């Protein structure tokens, strides 16, 4: 069988200085013709970029775990303030966005209390003003706009369908422990450790980890729970009942480095601290994400 020629990249647009003529044609009356391609080119185009990115991001400046409303707000602010940082977001789900594709109880409008509405103007999301709070007509408008802005930032990498399944915890000469990175695996692998063996994970080291994995659930509150089993936290506070007026300021004002090298933001913090949940109001997720970005900048400067 004749060998199949394999190109490393797409066919060059120019050959020997002359524009290559492809039989392409953008016509919607039955004559639409694509530039030629080989299946191997498609695979290589993806593999090369994905694994080059993975290779490069093994050492990151900041890892954000979880791309829900808190994680994405954090990524937006941090990447805007510090375009020099390599910010790597790890999201367990195929679809980033966490619970912010709906406003609450499977309903589409999203409520955001003032003054967090300023963030909506910053990212260009329209809303209706109800006085003390604003309403975005569809939560997906907020999430997709924020996600598109975060992904367009050159210093941000998002690896979705990838779960953080452990923390890297180093000990210095004085015996102090510090979170120094995350252990990752493709989520489908992470979910199958009970059925298959030898599926060892990968590592990403970074001086700052920001965990935004939400409240307890199949994977939620991951880092807070790991702090307990690793002996860095005595016990979880466990999220308390719903109280919007207590919950939102508590989450924002308590967003902090809870263990050396690890910042918690969003609802994960309620599990760590034992603070209330707020239900379907998202201002605290935005403001907590922004505060986590400010905290991270402070740690990196110190
Ligand atoms: O898939 C999770 C989701 O997208 C992801 N995640 C969880 N564990 C992970 C792990 N590795 C990687 N081990 C992981 N990713 O983290 C994201 C969390 O998003 P979320 O929307 O659940 O949390 P949030 O804190 O950004 O927003 C919470 C929104 C809530 S819950 C609530 C209430 O229950 O009262 N109220 C609000 C506003």
List residues bridging with 272 in a β-sheet: none
Average pLDDT over residues 233-254: 97
Which residues are within 8 A (CB) of 219 and not within 5 positions of it... i.e. 6 or more apart? 92, 163, 213
The closest residue, in CA terms, to atom 4 on ligand 1 is 98
- For a ligand 1 pocket test, name from 65, 157, 209, 220 the mutation site with the most ligand atoms within 8 angstroms of its C-beta: 220
Q: Calculate how far, in angstroms, residue 26's C-alpha sits from the geometric centre of ligand 1.
A: 43
Point out the least confidently predicted range of 23-27, 140-144, 267-271.
23-27
What value of ipTM does the predicted structure carry?
0.99
pLDDT on residue 198: 73
- Residue 118 pLDDT exceeds 90: yes
Nearest residue to 291 (alpha-carbon basis) of 181, 212, 218, 228 = 212
Q: Calculate how far, in angstroms, residue 91's C-alpha sits from the geometric centre of ligand 1.
A: 10
State yes or no: 153 annotated in a binding site: no
- Residue 217 pLDDT exceeds 90: no
**What's the pTM value of the predicted model, to 2 decimals?**
0.94
Atom of ligand 1 nearest to the CA of 268: 25
State yes or no: 92 annotated in a binding site: yes
- Residue 17 pLDDT exceeds 60: no
Atom of ligand 1 nearest to the CA of 242: 35
Alpha carbons 98 and 71: distance in angstroms, whole number: 9
Alpha carbons 256 and 268: distance in angstroms, whole number: 12
pLDDT on residue 16: 58
For 230, 247, 248, 267, the CA distances from 280, given in Å and listed in that order, are 32, 11, 11, 12
- Residue 197 pLDDT exceeds 90: no
- Residue 263 pLDDT exceeds 80: yes
State yes or no: 302 annotated in a binding site: no
With cut-offs at 50, 70 and 90, classify the pLDDT of residue 20.
Answer: low
Does residue 171 have a cis bond before it (omega within 30 degrees)? no
b/e sequence 207-222, b meaning 16+ C-beta within 10 Å: bbbbbbbbbbeebbbb
Model pLDDT for residues 55-109, shown as the tens digit of each residue: 999 999 999 999 999 999 999 999 999 999 999 999 999 999 999 999 999 999 9
State yes or no: 193 annotated in a binding site: no
User: Helices 69-81 and 283-301, interaxial angle, to 10°?
Assistant: 40
Q: Which residues line ligand 1 (CB under 6 A)?
A: 65-71, 90-93, 98-100, 163-164, 212-215, 219-220, 222, 266-267, 277-279, 282, 285
CA torsion 192-203-163-209 (nearest 10°) is: 150
Alpha carbons 255 and 271: distance in angstroms, whole number: 12
């Amino acid at each position: 069988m004749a060998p199949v020629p394999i190109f490393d990249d797409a066919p060059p647009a120019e050959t020997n200085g002359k524009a290559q003529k492809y039989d392409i044609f953008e016509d919607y009356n039955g004559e639409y013709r694509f530039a030629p391609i080989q299946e191997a080119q498609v695979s290589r185009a993806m593999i090369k970029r994905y694994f080059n990115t993975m290779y490069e991001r093994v050492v990151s400046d900041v890892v954000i775990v979880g791309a829900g409303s808190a994680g994405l707000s954090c990524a937006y602010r941090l990447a805007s303030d510090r375009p020099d940082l390599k910010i790597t977001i790890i999201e367990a789900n195929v679809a980033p966005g966490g619970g912010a594709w709906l406003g609450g109880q499977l309903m589409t409008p999203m409520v955001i209390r003032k003054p967090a509405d300023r963030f909506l103007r910053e990212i260009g999301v329209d809303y209706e003003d109800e006085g003390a709070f604003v309403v975005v007509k569809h939560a997906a408008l907020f999430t997709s706009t924020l996600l598109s802005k975060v992904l367009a930032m050159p210093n941000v990498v998002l690896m979705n369908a990838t779960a953080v399944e452990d923390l890297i915890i180093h000990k210095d000469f004085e015996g102090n422990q510090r979170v120094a990175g995350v252990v990752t695996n493709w989520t489908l692998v992470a979910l199958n450790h009970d059925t298959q063996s030898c599926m060892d994970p990968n590592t990403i080291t970074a001086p700052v980890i920001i965990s935004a994995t939400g409240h307890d659930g199949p994977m939620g509150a991951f880092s807070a729970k790991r702090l307990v089993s690793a002996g860095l936290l005595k016990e979880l506070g466990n999220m308390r009942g719903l109280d919007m007026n207590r919950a939102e300021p508590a989450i924002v004002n308590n967003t902090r480095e809870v263990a050396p090298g690890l910042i918690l933001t969003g609802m994960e913090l309620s599990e760590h601290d034992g603070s209330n949940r707020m239900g379907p109001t998202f201002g605290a997720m935005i403001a907590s994400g922004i505060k986590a970005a400010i905290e991270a900048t402070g740690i990196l400067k110190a």
